[in-house]
Amino acid sequence: MTTPALLPLSGRRIPTLSPGAASFPHHRATLRLSEKFILLLILSAFITLCFGAFFFLPDNSKHKRFDLGLEDVLIPHSAPSPPDHKPQRGRDLMEEEESLRDKIRVDHERALQEAKEKLRKSRDELRAEIQTEKSKVVEDLKKKKEVPKPLPPVPMPKVVGVNDGDPVEPDVKEKRDKIREMMKHAWDSYRQYGWGHNELKPLAKKGHSTNIFGNSQMGATIVDALDSLYMMGLHDEFKDGQEWIEQNLDFSVNAEVSVFEVNIRFIGGLLAAYYLSGQEVFKVKAVQLAEKLLPAFNTPTGIPWAMVNLKSGVGRNWGWASAGSSILAEFGTLHMEFVHLTYLTGNPAYYQKVMHIRKLLAKMDRPNGLYPNYLNPRTGRWGQHHTSVGGLGDSFYEYLLKAWLMSDKTDTEARKTYDDAIEAIERHLIRKSNGGLTFIGEWKNGHLERKMGHLTCFAGGMFALGADGSPDDKAGHYLQLGAEIAHTCHESYDRTVLKLGPEAFKFDSGLEAVAVRQNEKYYILRPEVIETYWYMWRFTHDPKYRQWGWEAAQAIDKYCRVSGGFSGVKDVYSSNPTYDDVQQSFFLAETLKYLYLLFSSDDLMPLESWVFNTEAHPLPVLHLANFTLPGSQAQR
Ligand code: DMJ
């Protein structure tokens, strides 16, 4: 019979033998026997070799390992000393070798034992074991991700007046309750329709985002709103936001974001939430995010790019900015948050980055003592000579003053830079209109544009805040200037149909604080006018500021409130306005917070202890006279 022979020789299939070969069965059996013999011989030779190698190969313990990246190279420490010269050392070496051999033997036996046990197990048992090990690794990885690295402990600054602030007057209390109700409506709507998105479309009732957040869902409204919720005593909502942040806020995303916006809203918001609540998670997230912003500073001058990709670290500037420039109000509005980051982490990098910007600016020539809004980060030269206390320039001046306040007035360099800048602004940009309204215009290539933006209205509050400590005892003058700006901005509201301020207004050709162009007539829930009312109220207690604030609150509630939240309006001069369908995150961070503070007593967030960043996130005053910031000595 010609049986097909399939011999398991070295695992290879042997082709079916020819009928001729089938007639030599004895020969085949002999072949199998000799093959087995050869195999046995090879195996025993191999075992002998291993055994010999184990005892006679050079001892690795006498070699230093040099990791050259590609492979390990063994280099002897030194030639072994002849035993007759150092007999004790020779004995020591032998003992060392012996104990090493014992250890290897034990390890070897244990490994063999484990292998044997494994072989005894069934396939299913092995599979189950592998599965358990796999899940353990996944769990461990998860835990590693979740458990944040602890940061070094630092003295916690004094945290005072973070809640209550109940006003004694019942009518004021009623107004404050109304503001809290508006906050609840804005938050609940976002919670219901836009949760996790950056912002809310209150009419479409869905999430919204803009390019400043890089179109990734980073929950900007949650982060921006946290401290307002906390101050207003909305603790369940705060907890809800905190949970979202713990579980979802992740910065390892491929998103190109605005360095400035992310700093003022996210880092500022997280730091404030940390200081108010003491919850570590906010500090850890702020630091994680700040790390992602640092590559933006990798420019030839150290002036950061406007945008950075959080994943790749690649930065660039806005296409619309003059000559590829970075923007003064963007790279000049990092100081407060970055000083706090260094304070909390002990990492000098943050502080050094912002101090480098300050030093670089100090060395530059300034046309008429003014700071142009554009600076090229490659060449270190100014772009277009356009100076503004509104958009593109505003918070640069604000942060000079606040750097001084936040340092417990020890950063006198910042105060001096602020004073000099304000002096030039007063000389060249501040004028009185024919109708007697004080306004701050914009300087464009040697020409004053008699136009003021809604954004510029924050300056009233800034002048009042900086009055104390101004040079030549001009405190009264600056408080008066703050009052005049507040009045002008109130007029810009009062001269509209909706009693809400336009984006920009003119003081030209008979026009007094009114918008002309259609694209300047919108109101997008901005805070600056109310912000100035609040500072003026704190410094003067003139009841008109509460009155003006209440007018604005009522107008917002009447014209901007919809069932799905609050929306901006496109034309404040139209009795039948259309909505822009965006609930801006700064409405919850700033507008409603400043209104709430306006109707609270002064012991809520006292200005001696807190400094508000440009997005209204409060940061505590650091007593830097008693504390040296890491990296600060190297700078001086
Ligand atoms: C806010 O994001 C900040 O106040 C910023 O400084 C400029 N203005 C917007 C709101 O109007």
Q: How far is CA 201 from CA 175, 225, 583, in A?
A: 27, 16, 6
pLDDT at residue 207 tops 90:
yes
pLDDT-based confidence at residue 445 (cuts at 50, 70, 90): confident
CA of 382 to the centre of ligand 1 (A): 24
Interhelix angle 235-248/170-193, rounded to 10 degrees, is 30
pLDDT at residue 24 tops 90:
no
pLDDT at residue 486 tops 80:
yes
Q: Does the annotation flag 333 for ligand binding?
A: no
pLDDT-based confidence at residue 40 (cuts at 50, 70, 90): low
Report the alpha-carbon distance of residue 59 to residue 528 in Å, rounded.
76
pLDDT-based confidence at residue 137 (cuts at 50, 70, 90): low
The pLDDT assigned to 39 comes to 61
Whether 266 lines ligand 1, by a CB cut-off of 6 Å, is no
User: For residue 449, what are its two tokens?
Assistant: 């544009």
Q: Which atom of ligand 1 is nearest to the CA of 391?
A: 7
Residue with tokens 């995303």: 253
- Report the DSSP pairing between strands 206-208 and 63-67: unpaired
Whether 531 lines ligand 1, by a CB cut-off of 6 Å, is no
pLDDT at residue 48 tops 60:
no
CA of 391 to the centre of ligand 1 (A): 9
Q: Which atom of ligand 1 is nearest to the CA of 524?
A: 11
Whether 198 lines ligand 1, by a CB cut-off of 6 Å, is no
Ligand 1 pocket: which of 395, 503, 584 to mutate (most atoms <8 Å of CB)?
395
CA of 614 to the centre of ligand 1 (A): 6
For residue 468, what are the contacts with CB-CB under 8 A and spacing of at least 6? 475
CA of 526 to the centre of ligand 1 (A): 7
Whether 591 lines ligand 1, by a CB cut-off of 6 Å, is no
The pLDDT assigned to 87 comes to 44
Q: Which atom of ligand 1 is nearest to the CA of 395?
A: 6
In sign, the C-alpha dihedral spanning 38, 39, 42, 44 is negative
Q: How far is CA 353 from CA 179, 297, 299, 349, 478, in A?
A: 39, 8, 12, 6, 31
The residue whose CA has the least distance to atom 6 of ligand 1 is 614
Query: Once rounded to an integer, what is the mean pLDDT over residues 24-44?
Result: 50
Report the alpha-carbon distance of residue 382 to residue 385 in Å, rounded.
7
Whether 395 lines ligand 1, by a CB cut-off of 6 Å, is yes
Whether 322 lines ligand 1, by a CB cut-off of 6 Å, is no
CA of 575 to the centre of ligand 1 (A): 27
Ligand 1 pocket: which of 522, 586, 587, 617 to mutate (most atoms <8 Å of CB)?
586
The residue whose CA has the least distance to atom 1 of ligand 1 is 615
Whether 297 lines ligand 1, by a CB cut-off of 6 Å, is no
Average pLDDT, the chain: 86
Whether 617 lines ligand 1, by a CB cut-off of 6 Å, is no
- Report the DSSP pairing between strands 565-566 and 561-562: antiparallel
CB 192 within 8 A of CB 241: no
Query: Once rounded to an integer, what is the mean pLDDT over residues 419-424?
Result: 98
For residue 9, what are the contacts with CB-CB under 8 A and spacing of at least 6? 35
Q: Which has the closest alpha carbon to 458: 486, 439, 420, 480?
A: 486
**Positions marked catalytic:** 261, 394, 503, 528
For residue 209, what are the contacts with CB-CB under 8 A and spacing of at least 6? 197, 198, 199, 215, 216, 217, 220
The residue whose CA has the least distance to atom 11 of ligand 1 is 526
The residue whose CA has the least distance to atom 3 of ligand 1 is 615
The pLDDT assigned to 113 comes to 75
The residue whose CA has the least distance to atom 8 of ligand 1 is 455
CA of 329 to the centre of ligand 1 (A): 10
The pLDDT assigned to 69 comes to 27
Query: Once rounded to an integer, what is the mean pLDDT over residues 122-127?
Result: 73
Q: Which atom of ligand 1 is nearest to the CA of 265?
A: 2
- Alpha carbon of residue 454 to chain centroid: 27
pLDDT digits (tens, 9 = 90+) for 80-122: 333 333 345 556 667 777 777 777 777 777 767 776 776 677 7
Query: Once rounded to an integer, what is the mean pLDDT over residues 386-414?
Result: 98
Residue 323 three-state SS: helix
The pLDDT assigned to 34 comes to 53
Whether 586 lines ligand 1, by a CB cut-off of 6 Å, is yes
**Of the candidate ranges 210-214, 396-400, 543-547, 628-632, the one whose mean pLDDT is the lowest:** 628-632
Ligand 1 pocket: which of 392, 454, 455, 617 to mutate (most atoms <8 Å of CB)?
455
Whether 526 lines ligand 1, by a CB cut-off of 6 Å, is yes
Query: Once rounded to an integer, what is the mean pLDDT over residues 211-222?
Result: 93
CA of 297 to the centre of ligand 1 (A): 22
Whether 585 lines ligand 1, by a CB cut-off of 6 Å, is no
In sign, the C-alpha dihedral spanning 562, 565, 568, 572 is positive
Whether 326 lines ligand 1, by a CB cut-off of 6 Å, is no
Residue 448 three-state SS: strand
pLDDT at residue 365 tops 50:
yes
Per the model's pLDDT, the better-predicted residue between 63 and 499 turns out to be: 499
Q: Which stretches within 19-86 are classed as H helix?
A: 25-56
Q: How far is CA 527 from CA 207, 457, 467, 487, 605, in A?
A: 22, 9, 21, 16, 18
Of all residues in the chain, what percent carry a pLDDT higher than 70?
80
CB 551 within 8 A of CB 491: no
Q: What angle do CA 381, 385, 387 make, to 5 degrees?
A: 115
CA of 246 to the centre of ligand 1 (A): 26
